[in-house]
Structure 1
Amino acid sequence: MPLTTTGELMAEARAARTAVAAFNVITLEHAEAIATGAERADRPAILQLSENAVKFHGGRLQAIAAATSAVARASGARLALHLDHVTDPDLLRSAHPEGIGSVMFDASRLPYAENVKATAEAVRWGHERGIWIEAELGKVGGKEGEPPLDAHAPGVRTDPAEAAAYVADTGVDALAVAVGSSHAMTERTAALDHELIAALKEAVPVPLVLHGSSGVPDQEIRAAVAAGMVKINVGTALNTAFTGAARAFLEAHPSAVDPRKYLVPAREAMAGTVAHFLGLLG
């Protein structure tokens, strides 16, 4: 099936008052598992390649993007390709030749005025090429290379009035907001501020994005979607499933050396996790 776009999936989800899930790709097995899980759930999904994943592949986007795109095109599910948490302008500009339809440009570490300026420039560049741009305001925390951040600390959450001004000044197509989740959580214990989500939905005209959803319990995700979240990002939960299944196989078969033997259950575990998260949004 031809690739769809993040913007199209988001518009459909928003109109239906539901959400679309976006899953991080690190290896080919991740992409295959996401496609399989989406087919099982009979739901669309977004395959995301983060800047850190590109660094894992030697800083070269082309090969992993081409492989991920090929998996998506061969799938019976409606799938989009997205580049996530991009801080490097050169990586942003490399998205267009690879057929990536959307980018999350992350200037959230910069002071507010610099964030606005850099993001507005990214939006102008993207829109000239038909690329949909997501940005982040607030501090979700938990990203690789950052110090630990309490998702409930004062000043961390996204302010609705500031969010409205930020969207107006940058022209972004979607906004990732800090409402109580954190990246890289391996336990699903995050408590979200659903009143803040509803206030942000009223304050900004663009779809809201929840990063760090791996650490959010099922009922919290459902409530977040009901309050206004439109894109639900999942990464660590796939890695937890992958590593757990691979570890269990290798512990049971300590003499195994063929990686296919443990990659099959690892990929299957990820596919089950994808189907589960997509099922929450039905």
Structure 2
Amino acid sequence: MPLVDTAELLRAAYAARRGLLAFNVVTLEHAEAIAAGAETAGAPAILAVSENTVRFHGGRPGPVAAAAAAVARSSGAPLALHLDHVESTELLHAAPAAGFGSVMFDASRLPYAENVEATAYAVRFGHGHGMWVEAELGRVGGKPGDAHTPGVRTDPAEAAEYAAATGVDALAVAVGSSHAMTERTAVLDHALIAELRRALSVPLVLHGSSGVPDGELRRAVGAGMTKINVGTALNAAFTGAVRAALAGDARTVDPRGCLRTAREAMAETVAAFLKAVAP
């Protein structure tokens, strides 16, 4: 199936008040697992490559993007390619040539006025190169300097002002989730999600969804959340499967066996998340 634009998938999900899952790609096996899980669930999904992953692959976005795009094109599921948590202007500028149809530009660490200025530039650049642009307002926990407290939640009035000032196509908001959670214990502020949905005319994005239970995710979508980002849950499935496979045969040297089980475990995780938010 041809690679689908993130904008196309997001507009459809937003209009129908459905959830759209974005899963982080680190290795080729991640991309293959996301495609397999989406096919199993019969749902679209987004392949998200983060700036951290680009850095892991030598700072070159092209190879990992090309691999993920090739997997998407060979899949029977509608899949889009997204560049996530970009803080580097250099990487932003490299995104179109690498084949990304969308980018999440993350200036959330900056003071508000500087965040607006940097994000508005990213939006102008992105739109000028045919890319859909997401940004973040409020501090989603789990990264250095962040705090997982009510005091860092996104304010609806400020969010509406920010969206108007920057022209973003979607907004990641802080409503109770946290990056890098390995236990699904997060409790979301559903009243705040509904208030943000009313205040904004662009899709809302939930980062740190690996730590959010299925029921909370379904309620979040019902309250107005559209894009749901999942990363740590796939990595936990990957490393858990590899650890178990290697422990079962201390003499193995061929990585394909443990990578196969890791890919299968991630595909099951992807399908489970997709089915959890299915209408």
What's 2:89 paired with? 89
Shift of 1:212: 0.1
What's 1:225 paired with? 221
Q: Is residue 150–residue 176 contact of structure 2 (8 Å, CA) maintained in 1?
A: no
Determine helix, strand or coil for the equivalent of 1:175. strand
Shift of 1:281: 2.1
Determine helix, strand or coil for the equivalent of 2:273. helix
Determine helix, strand or coil for the equivalent of 1:182. coil
What's 2:117 paired with? 117
What's 1:72 paired with? 72
Q: Which runs of 4+ in 1 moved over 3 A?
A: none
Shift of 1:261: 1.1
Q: 1:182 aligns with which of 169, 178, 181?
A: 178
The Cα offsets for residues 72-121 of structure 1, whole Å up to 9 and x where unpaired, read as 00101000000000000110111101221000000000000000000000
Which AA in structure 2 matches 1:163?
Answer: A
Shift of 1:153: 4.2
For residues 136-215 of structure 1, what are the structure 2 equivalents within 5 Å? Answer: 136-143=136-143, 146-147=144-145, 149-154=146-151, 156-215=152-211
Q: Is residue 50–residue 83 contact of structure 2 (8 Å, CA) maintained in 1?
A: yes
TM-score if structure 1 supplies the norm length?
0.97
For residues 218-257 of structure 1, what are the structure 2 equivalents within 5 Å? Answer: 218-257=214-253
What's 1:39 paired with? 39
**1:108 & 1:133 partners in 2: Cα distance?**
14
The Cα offsets for residues 215-262 of structure 1, whole Å up to 9 and x where unpaired, read as 000000000000000000000000000111111111111111110010
**1:167 & 1:150 partners in 2: Cα distance?**
23
Determine helix, strand or coil for the equivalent of 1:184. coil
Shift of 1:265: 0.5
What's 2:54 paired with? 54
Which AA in structure 1 matches 2:30?
Answer: H
Shift of 1:141: 1.9
The Cα offsets for residues 176-207 of structure 1, whole Å up to 9 and x where unpaired, read as 00000000000000000000000000001100
Which AA in structure 2 matches 1:179?
Answer: V
Shift of 1:128: 1.0
Shift of 1:150: 3.5
What's 1:5 paired with? 5
Determine helix, strand or coil for the equivalent of 2:185. coil
Calculate the aligned-residue CA RMSD, in Å. Answer: 0.8
The Cα offsets for residues 2-55 of structure 1, whole Å up to 9 and x where unpaired, read as 100111101111121111000000000000000000000010000000000000
Which AA in structure 1 matches 2:114?
Answer: E
Which AA in structure 1 matches 2:88?
Answer: D
The Cα offsets for residues 155-174 of structure 1, whole Å up to 9 and x where unpaired, read as x0000000000000000000
Which AA in structure 1 matches 2:101?
Answer: G
Determine helix, strand or coil for the equivalent of 1:95. helix
What's 1:273 paired with? 269
**1:91 & 1:128 partners in 2: Cα distance?**
16
Q: Is residue 35–residue 75 contact of structure 2 (8 Å, CA) maintained in 1?
A: yes
Determine helix, strand or coil for the equivalent of 1:43. coil
TM-score if structure 2 supplies the norm length?
0.98
Question: Could you list the runs of 5+ residues in structure 1 that have no partner in the other structure?
Answer: none
**1:152 & 1:193 partners in 2: Cα distance?**
11
